[in-house]
Structure 1
């Protein structure tokens, strides 16, 4: 492997750094180096490559409120086709489902821009007004080196908002101590014509490197547990390349670019996604190893563009009895450009990271009846956003066991409404045409972390507060705004979240247990209310005040050599203050129990996922994608996996998801579209029945 190693941009903070992700991840621990804060002391030390055989089924925290993992590790259920699918491995995450791929991630019942997504150090936004191409649909998890999640408003380093959490898919700059190369590749085949290929290769010398990461993922329509075919197939691909200059082990200047495209069928929508074009460009600089208190300088610029087409004729035939009896297509695009500069310092007992960031993004659209007729129309820009922020985050250590982490940021944000008309099929003059909304957003948090002296126990308590400007989907997608306002752009207020987070982690050699809990107050929570009957198809965005609470917990037990038993539990609760109504789109109680064995060459595992019934709903209320369809039933799904390590570089794994072919549907789900025979009364889309898969992985 000729000394390949990554130049890390962050490192796990001092608290809880001895706590493992899971046994299955330890073989790749050298690849998992980031968490929520801290300055890098330099590149990650190279380690021998040994492919893990145990499959990841659940992830424990690596630091307070932080989960970090290598997204290339094998996992069950079947390896993810998009970012949201992978996040489901982390307790507290669920997905708002719509069939096969491109579900929307939900953390602790919170959705959309309450989750701040950063991919390869840049912001990524979807363009569809209904989030058919949500940001995670452009992320191929296995092409990244690391996934880092910070839950709650407990970091200010990566942009405004982020009241639910921050999700970062990261690629590290490379460094080669001697001329050489490295390779990661995999191929997967499974039920329903599923086939995936992944390639990640890098080569270089001490002075520089080149890297190419690419993937392709394809699947046909799956069959649910009742034997019903679900319109759900997809075909997606991505390719990214980077070249870097590394004059020493502490310095990297990298230029990167990427493209991608695909198509996806949606059983819960009146259109499918026939184009998911992505073009990404970036330049970043990392410098460490300074003499004195300055430890690291990081800077990057990026330009991410998406071009998305939705139509009712490429992957289906128009429904003559539906709302779109003739061929229709809508083409939307969005460009996000930004820059970030951050410096890190360290004194005795104090670490500080501070910097500035800026982002601007533009949205445009065109649509027309007829096959491909939209291509003859010019683009029309309908929305523009900008934000500029300054941030600082510090860790003050009183001794080896006690510390305070705190941060603050302030952002100047604005949004411009460039629509001349609104109203869809019956356009009306837009009362806010040309209007610019300007907001000043503030965020701050403070967290105390403590490690006990005589027992292996660590605990923390943190209080955070953040203001979030309504996003594109909340300002421009609803047909109406709050009562008494001309539209959502003028009437929907800034959302403010104040949240207390508590947690502890206990670990001995053969047993560990962890728990995190939160309680919060959301002022001016942005909620969607959907029309019924003669008002069907109408949506109103408005503000309500809400209370939220919940938490996650888990245990890990090693009863004998090679064996591991894990369990996790996640619960989220929300209520609209004043009315006492449930906050919509809250996931039900979920538990996971897994048993795994790992020998020298062979491994095996089993996963039982149990989900309780959800009866606390708010009918016909929700978000831009989903609404509460009523109560849902509980279910249990059992899956098994096994693997054989052919040698230290080659691994063959296989699994069966939903072994007993259980018929079930997730609570957070879209209703099946009538084009596929679903009834007028909302019926959730069924999940895949028994699914077999086999995967070959290579690492050199």
Structure 2
């Protein structure tokens, strides 16, 4: 198979690019020479350009197939893995650490899922293309954005700006692909120097996909989102915005019998941002938000009288102040608050029957979180380089309202320090971070290992201490390296090996990193490569840590000529034989050792002036059948045309085309 792929790449490249190469050797007309150059389709995600940070424009075309949700987008960034359970609701993992170890911030909001089986992780409510920037902060190297993500923090952000004069701008995109994939997005911004309106509406749907053997995988979904923001801009330095958003959807999964009849979210935010000319105070930001998720899962359509409805309401606010103490020292001071309550109701088969009975039942409270945080971050400019540091204190109050019940309070500390040095074309960084993490809803709802009739309410907070180092080089060849070594005390392990899945604390060690390089081959040809690796050990049991992704490499070959571009992506994933069967995290547990695989994808695009961009691609070109190591069991795959699967297989050959129009 590998020999076949090695031979196929140059042959396929010659076939695809020969028309472009011919065009290159033919004298171009003056009009063609004036056509704007087109940016290549992104196929390995952006490289690290700032220490510990990867920033990406989600509106740019990219492989794989334009992402339906936040997890699908993160999959394009080296270091991320996505636990597939169907076509929607994938759970992101960074460097083998998933669940609430990865903090997802949705334009300033913390939006948590509701489903006990993770049908709706926070990224399920995010349509990436509707955002202006996505930033990944790797490791515990910030304390600013609420409870610290020990694996990292992902910021999905939207821009605010003042119109100088009355104007209207917008964009629209439409995508079609295999398995009846259909997406559309419409964005509109209009305003004048005093006011603006910013709105978007999008929809994405797909039928069940097929794997490389033609087996149907239960994976259909349909989702709609709309957002509207009204802004007041009394000056160039100040913006006041009130925003409302709503999303609704449904989905089926191959790893379970339950169908997600509803996965809904409604949110409201109020934002004030202002810059100042004072010697001390540079800027202030205040944001308050409220959101609620409503999720119905059932088997009514299969004739089974089983169903439940869960909701989670979260409200919060933050106040940040940027201060300049001197020409070399800047501080950010902040306070934040969050209140999150989970409740649910379910069918009692002995007295209830069907959806109407479910919806008529009262909700019962399950768990209530309250979190108050105080932090300071600093940046000190030195004669050579700069020193960054931050500390954060969190005060948690948690109430369990079912099983044994109970209340607990926790005071947690997190912090980091990082040194950055620029020298010539190189930038070096080294940082040490520490994050203390409260057990999340899904961990606490597992059984207590010492008494399986109780919930795991007495889990100790998880404590991660991690070293992050790296080297960035920008020149004719761009290189980025990011390495980490972490020691985790009281790591919260999910163990599904007994009759009832339990959660308990262990000690663990993780290490690995990512290396990427972009280099030109000629005037029109370039290439990019990346390698990511993670290693995890359960130090308590002296065994591998579960749910650690294998070594992965990506290699691209890109071509650009005037308004045309094309490319290849070859993705190679090694086997993973370091497993802990039945152990892992809230996103999933190891099922077995996994085999290596390689996939090849192709893409092309054409741009007309600055307004129209047409892009297309074919993924898994050779239609191989494979599953990622981090994947859910395929035990629930039960639709016509399907066959039993050990794991949820990835899609077979998938073709798509996308058109963007900017006005």
Give TM-score scaled by structure 2 length.
0.91
Given candidates 79, 91, 98, the residue that maps to 1:92 is: 79
User: Structure 1 residues 52 and 279, CA, compared in 2 at 3 Å: closer, same or farther?
Assistant: farther
Cα deviation digits, residues 529-572 of structure 1 (max 9, x gap): 1135xx2xx10101110011000001110122232200001001
Once the two structures are superposed, the pairs formed by residues 209-220 of structure 1 within 5 Å of their partners are 209-220=196-207
Deviation at 1:53? 4.3
Equivalent-residue separation in structure 2 for 1:443 and 1:607 (angstroms): 39
- SS of 2:494's equivalent in the other structure is strand
Contact in 2 for aligned 1:82/1:101 (Cα 8 Å): yes
Contact 2:198 2:229 in 1 (8 A): yes
Q: Which SS does the other structure have where 2:457 is aligned?
A: helix
Counterpart residue number, 2:386 = 403
Q: Check if 1:551 corresponds to 2:513.
A: yes
Deviations 1:646-690 (A, max 9, x none): 22111111100111111111111111125528888x711111111
Render the CA deviation track for 1:71-119: whole Å, top value 9, x for unaligned: 1111101000100110011110110111211100000000111111110
* CA offset digits 1:27-58 (Å, max 9, x no partner): xxxxxxxxxxxxxxxxxxxxxx9794421112
Q: Does 1:384 pair with 2:377?
A: no
Structure 1 runs, 4 residues or longer, greater than 6 Å off: 677-680
Select between 52-61 and 639-648 the one with higher mean Cα deviation: 52-61
Structure 2: how far apart are the matches of 1:485 and 1:160?
Answer: 29
Provide the rounded CA distance (Å) in 2 between the counterparts of 1:123 and 1:551: 27
Question: Shift of residue 259 of structure 1?
Answer: 0.5
Tell me if 1:608 matches 2:570. Answer: yes
Q: Does 1:470 align with 2:439?
A: yes
Call closer, same or farther: CA 1:263–1:485 in 2, change over 3 Å.
closer
Match of 1:145 in 2: 132
User: What CA distance in whole angstroms lies between the structure 1 residues aligned with 2:643 and 2:398?
Assistant: 40
Hey, what does 1:342 align to over in structure 2? Answer: 320
Contact 1:417 1:436 (C-alpha < 8 Å) held by counterparts:
yes
CA contact (8 A) 1:592 1:610 kept: yes
Question: Is the CA contact 1:527–1:622 (under 8 Å) kept in the aligned structure 2?
Answer: yes
Helix, strand or coil at the partner of 1:490: coil
Which residue number in structure 2 is paired with residue 250 of structure 1?
237
Q: 1:523 aligns with which of 489, 496, 501?
A: 489
Which residues in structure 2 correspond to 1:647-658 (within 5 Å)? 647-658=609-620
Unaligned runs of 5+ in 2: 1-34
Is the counterpart of residue 413 in structure 1 residue 380 in structure 2?
no
Write out aligned runs for 1:255-274 (5 A): 255-274=242-261
| 1:161 Cα offset (Å) | 3.1
Match for residue 569 of structure 1? Answer: 531
> Is the contact made by 1:485 and 1:491 (CA closer than 8 Å) also made in structure 2?
no
Residues 1:241 and 2:228 are matched in the alignment: yes
Whole-angstrom CA distance in 1 between matches of 2:252 and 2:612: 34
Q: CA deviation at 1:486?
A: 6.5
Q: Which moved more, 1:51-60 or 1:464-473?
A: 51-60
Give SS of 1:247's match: strand
CA contact (8 A) 2:115 2:295 kept: yes
Matched residues in 2 for 1:616 and 1:182: separation?
Answer: 52
The alpha-carbon deviation at position 576 of structure 1 amounts to 0.8
Please give the alpha-carbon distance, in whole angstroms, between the structure 2 residues aligned to 1:148 and 1:675.
35
In 1, the alpha carbon distance for the partners of 2:626 and 2:235 equals 55
| Counterpart check, 1:587 vs 2:549 | yes
CA contact (8 A) 1:66 1:151 kept: yes
Deviations 1:322-349 (A, max 9, x none): xxxx231110000110000000012201
How many residues align? The count is: 620
Partner of 2:425: 456
Answer yes or no: is the 8 Å Cα contact 2:400–2:457 preserved in 1.
no
Contact in 2 for aligned 1:482/1:491 (Cα 8 Å): no
Selected match of 1:55 from 25, 41, 61: 41
52-61 or 357-366, which moves further after superposition? 52-61
* Counterpart secondary structure, 1:473: helix
Asked whether the 8 Å contact 1:160–1:441 carries over to 2, the reply is: no
> Is residue 2:647 matched to residue 1:684?
yes
Alignment root-mean-square deviation, CA = 1.6
Alignment check: 8 A CA contact 1:459 1:505 kept: yes
Residue 442 of structure 2: SS of its match in structure 1?
A: helix
2:319 aligned with 1:332, yes or no?
no
Q: Is the Cα–Cα contact under 8 Å of residues 428 and 470 in structure 2 kept in the other structure?
A: yes
Q: 5 Å matches for 1:171-570?
A: 171-314=158-301, 317-318=302-303, 326-346=304-324, 347-368=326-347, 369=349, 370-372=353-355, 373-399=357-383, 401-419=384-402, 430-431=403-404, 433=405, 435-452=406-423, 455-476=424-445, 478=446, 480-483=447-450, 487-508=454-475, 510-531=476-497, 535=499, 538-570=500-532
Of the three residues 624, 637, 640, the one matched with 2:586 is 624
- CA contact under 8 A between 1:417 and 1:489: conserved in structure 2? no
Q: 1:260 to 1:490 in 2, by over 3 A?
A: closer
Once the two structures are overlaid, the 10-residue window that deviates more, 51-60 or 629-638, is 51-60
User: Structure 1 residue 595: deviation in Å?
Assistant: 1.2
Contact 2:38–2:564 (CA under 8 A) maintained in structure 1: no
In structure 1, distance between residues paired with 2:362 and 2:201: 32
Does the aligned pair in 1 maintain the 2:286–2:320 contact within 8 Å?
yes
